[in-house]
Amino acid sequence: MYHGYIDVPPLAYYEFGNIWSGSLLGDYNYKIIPKSKEEPPVLHTIIWYGALSLEKSEPVEEFDFPLTEEGYEELIAAMNERIHTYRNKKLFGE
């Protein structure tokens, strides 16, 4: 399901322990990893640039949001903000 720039599944997908990854603009990549055994449980997100997989790249940013409906919405907003900024830098040099 698309939320702004990103395509992410509903919160229940992560509550079952599933990992999601995606890419945009040809070289903006992200992976969302639920860490339900953490206290408190979190959605851990990794961002990296380039055509290579995460394993062959250096992450440019990592962050966590609570594994809750509010945390899920905050994650989506944060991702869209970062992607918008990246897009503008890439396209317009801003």
In a structure prediction context, what are the per-residue pLDDT tens digits for the chain, which is 94 residues long?
667 888 899 999 999 999 999 999 889 999 999 999 889 999 999 999 999 999 999 999 999 999 999 999 999 999 999 999 999 988 888 6
Query: Considering only CA atoms, which of 14, 22, 79 is closest in space to residue 54?
Result: 22
What's residue 92's pLDDT?
A: 87
Helices (H) and strands (E) in the chain, counts: 2, 6
- Single-letter amino acid code for the residue at 20: W
Q: Taking the complete model, does pTM exceed 0.85, yes or no?
A: yes
Amino acid at 14: Y
Say how many Å lie between the first and final Cα of the chain, rounded: 29
Using only the alpha carbons of the chain, give its radius of gyration: 13
The per-residue pLDDT for 1 is 66
Q: How far is 94 from 86, CA to CA, in rounded Å?
A: 9
